Chain A
């Protein structure tokens, strides 16, 4: 186990390093520079600005310096969007908003998706199953922005008399409803499909036959024996799903004008604010990688039969 954890952590660090280097070189390969937008500055001004932010040195030197600073949790300062404000400070004020919406979304997705999947498996072959299958297939075929804009249009006054929620995000509980609903819809459908497959798999297992032979009640068989085992494969999907929800936030944050990290990340790319792009990418990447790592390790805790050290799939 210890060896496995060590291996995974090492892997995660290497991945993060690759992401950092990739981001860094890409940023530097882009033609144009961050000073171009407003008035075209003179060459002397550009040189002075480059010297101030260390952009005049060779790329490798810049990368080395950046990595060194990163070890001290110094992400540098923003050079354009919010001039001279530390990047870490910006991230820490924006991330909680995104994380809050993402967390609520994933929680409702689990709370609704898993029971729906169970229901579909339990009522297999009936109209309930068919209906749920249609909804879920539709749900995973609609891009996030379609769901988000449809909700936005229908529930904020597009249809007369249905102005239930505010259009703009203002931090009140009511304004959280739509973004969370939109963000959690895809994972909900996905989880429900996965749960259904896993449940059907579990129901055909020998231990369910044994449980039936023992004369256990149907409910007990479903919840205690089938569901518990069916949840194991579902957990594997949770890691990427959390990452997806966080990134799906890009779209939802744009549609509902939420001042979150996802929208800011996109804006910083469009504005070529190098330190900010680097900072947000590294932060989000680290978050996603750690999340995946945690879910993988949880997997082992939930099902002791899985022997991770031997590279079990």
Chain B
């Protein structure tokens, strides 16, 4: 019978005659009442799937977003737990650790290298007079005399070589010539000696900067500053934007018109200029305020740091606009829905309607936008710090570390690339995770 069936094109509306005729061939016992055991097994108890569970299930299937999340968590651990493990602090100057690389030679190797360098720079290090005397001796041996011009030439080259002499044979060359391999992590001379004596010393995994501060701890603290700035700014933007947008959208009419004109004006202000300006002017204002007395507010400022507060304010003033527009649009759409009319008919107040009916319905978009605010805040903070207007010494941030490293870029490239890589990785993963979050929370938007 089955092979007799005509294949129907997909979506055809023609009734399947064969199938209908088939119904006559049902077995006799097809309509017996089900036993109670059968009934039991038919009813399945399933927990109702909440919105968040559903979203989490969708998110878990998104492999890119999950990898990004894991990396973000790892960076978070690095930034928040790391400083507790490493026995150095970000502003601690370690004696003798200036400019040490994130690699080291063992004590014997170092001694061999030093000896090699001394041995090989000796000849190149003739003083001008010695060089001339040597040349004269050589010339006499050949039976010639040295002209004064030639003598002057030799003198000049010897003089020029004198300073360079020691650099002619570098540690690297010496190590290569002696076949010595570097070992990972940096240690100071004193630490190496202590290790030789049997003590355990925590290594400087990324080396130290020109003032002898451990770069790994500074990177951790920098990443922590970036994350704090990102999260706090996102919260500030969320609070201001959600309040402003929902009031504007819910009230409508003249209130909305006025509020939207204000938004439009803030929207057209060139933000980077104002951020630079605010960042650099608010900081001294706060510092002065901080030093003006010992009240509660002053202590708060001291606790958070003047420069972090000024960054928060800058963000709070400028970046809520997008959020408020988005929420207003959603609310305008939602408030036409029947359930809002019903709530109003039941006598619910405006605040209750916003809180209970409107906001929960646009929560997906709000969460996504808030989350995507974090990488953008980190981006801007690093930009400010790089220009020297964000977080300032002795506090550090990834941006200011990159800026500090610019000077010795050719000798110590890792000083720039480590914080830059962590910064980029952090922003990248936050962006990817945010995209995944958007797809999970609002599947309609997925393309």
Q: For the complex formed, measure the closest distance between the CB of B318 and the CB atoms of chain A, giving whole angstroms.
A: 11
6 residue pairs A–B, Cβ–Cβ below 8 Å: A11-B265, A12-B268, A29-B281, A149-B402, A269-B280, A284-B273
B379 at the interface (CB under 8 A from A): yes
B2 at the interface (CB under 8 A from A): no
Measured CB to CB, the residues of B under 8 A from A are: 264-265, 268-270, 272-274, 276-278, 280-282, 284-285, 287-288, 375, 379, 382-383, 386-389, 399, 402-403, 406, 409-410, 413, 416-417, 420, 423-424, 427-428, 431-432, 447
Contacts of B382 in A (CB 8 A): 143, 145
- Contacting pair B268 A140 (CB below 8 A): no
Contacts of B432 in A (CB 8 A): 137
- Contacting pair A270 B277 (CB below 8 A): no
A44 at the interface (CB under 8 A from B): no
Stretch at the interface among A80-88, A150-158, A230-238: A150-158
- Contacting pair B402 A137 (CB below 8 A): no
Contacts of A32 in B (CB 8 A): 284
A119 at the interface (CB under 8 A from B): no
Q: Which of B270, B375, B417, B420 contacts A289 (CB 8 A)?
A: B270
A162 at the interface (CB under 8 A from B): no
A244 at the interface (CB under 8 A from B): yes
Contacts of B427 in A (CB 8 A): 141-143
- Contacting pair A281 B424 (CB below 8 A): no
Given the complex of chains A and B, what is the CA–CA distance between A102 and B260 in angstroms? Answer: 32
Given the complex of chains A and B, what is the CA–CA distance between A206 and B293 in angstroms? Answer: 69
Contacts of B389 in A (CB 8 A): 266, 269
Given the complex of chains A and B, what is the CA–CA distance between A281 and B269 in angstroms? Answer: 11
- Contacting pair B270 A19 (CB below 8 A): yes
- Contacting pair B383 A143 (CB below 8 A): yes
Closest A-B pairs by Cβ, 4 of them: A141-B428, A247-B272, A288-B270, A141-B427
9 further interface pairs, Cβ-Cβ under 8 Å (given A31-B288, A250-B387): A12-B268, A14-B265, A141-B375, A142-B428, A145-B402, A152-B409, A254-B387, A281-B273, A292-B268
For residues 269 through 307 of chain A, which have their beta carbon under 8 Å from a beta carbon of chain B? 269-270, 277, 281, 284-285, 288-289, 292
A 135-172 to B, binary, CB cutoff 8 A, 1 in contact else 0: 00110111111100110110001100000000000000
Q: Which interface residue of B272, B379, B423 has the most chain A CB atoms within 10 A?
A: B272
- Contacting pair A143 B387 (CB below 8 A): no
Measured CB to CB, the residues of A under 8 A from B are: 11-12, 14-15, 18-19, 22-23, 26-27, 29-32, 137-138, 140-146, 149-150, 152-153, 157-158, 197, 200, 243-244, 247, 250-251, 254-255, 265-266, 269-270, 277, 281, 284-285, 288-289, 292
Contacts of A143 in B (CB 8 A): 379, 382-383, 386, 399, 420, 423-424, 427
Contacts of B386 in A (CB 8 A): 143, 145, 251, 254
Q: Which interface residue of B277, B417, B431, B432 has the most chain A CB atoms within 10 A?
A: B277
- Contacting pair A150 B268 (CB below 8 A): no
- Contacting pair B273 A247 (CB below 8 A): yes
Given the complex of chains A and B, what is the CA–CA distance between A12 and B281 in angstroms? Answer: 25
Q: Is the interface of B mostly helix, strand, loop or mixed?
A: helix
Given the complex of chains A and B, what is the CA–CA distance between A143 and B380 in angstroms? Answer: 8
Given the complex of chains A and B, what is the CA–CA distance between A166 and B447 in angstroms? Answer: 45
Given the complex of chains A and B, what is the CA–CA distance between A255 and B386 in angstroms? Answer: 10
Q: For the complex formed, measure the closest distance between the CB of B282 and the CB atoms of chain A, giving whole angstroms.
A: 8
Q: For the complex formed, measure the closest distance between the CB of B66 and the CB atoms of chain A, giving whole angstroms.
A: 16
Contacts of A137 in B (CB 8 A): 428, 431-432
Given the complex of chains A and B, what is the CA–CA distance between A145 and B288 in angstroms? Answer: 31
- Contacting pair A251 B409 (CB below 8 A): no
- Contacting pair B375 A23 (CB below 8 A): no
Question: What residue in chain A is nearest B431 (Cβ atoms)?
Answer: A141
* A15 touching B420 in the complex, CB below 8 Å, given contacts A284-B273, A288-B270: no
- Contacting pair B424 A285 (CB below 8 A): no
Question: What residue in chain B is nearest A144 (Cβ atoms)?
Answer: B383
- Contacting pair B270 A285 (CB below 8 A): yes
Given the complex of chains A and B, what is the CA–CA distance between A284 and B275 in angstroms? Answer: 13
Given the complex of chains A and B, what is the CA–CA distance between A216 and B427 in angstroms? Answer: 43
Q: For the complex formed, measure the closest distance between the CB of B71 and the CB atoms of chain A, giving whole angstroms.
A: 12
Q: For the complex formed, measure the closest distance between the CB of A268 and the CB atoms of chain B, giving whole angstroms.
A: 10
Q: For the complex formed, measure the closest distance between the CB of B382 and the CB atoms of chain A, giving whole angstroms.
A: 5
Given the complex of chains A and B, what is the CA–CA distance between A150 and B405 in angstroms? Answer: 12
Given the complex of chains A and B, what is the CA–CA distance between A250 and B273 in angstroms? Answer: 10
- Contacting pair B387 A23 (CB below 8 A): no
- Contacting pair B383 A145 (CB below 8 A): yes
Given the complex of chains A and B, what is the CA–CA distance between A270 and B269 in angstroms? Answer: 22
Given the complex of chains A and B, what is the CA–CA distance between A256 and B402 in angstroms? Answer: 14
Contacts of A289 in B (CB 8 A): 268, 270
- Contacting pair B265 A158 (CB below 8 A): no
- Contacting pair B416 A149 (CB below 8 A): yes
* A30 touching B276 in the complex, CB below 8 Å, given contacts A143-B382, A152-B409: no
Question: What residue in chain B is nearest A17 (Cβ atoms)?
Answer: B265
- Contacting pair B388 A270 (CB below 8 A): yes
Contacts of B409 in A (CB 8 A): 149, 152-153, 158
Given the complex of chains A and B, what is the CA–CA distance between A22 and B273 in angstroms? Answer: 11
Q: Which of B281, B413, B420 contacts A30 (CB 8 A)?
A: B281
Q: Which of B270, B284, B375, B420 contacts A149 (CB 8 A)?
A: B420
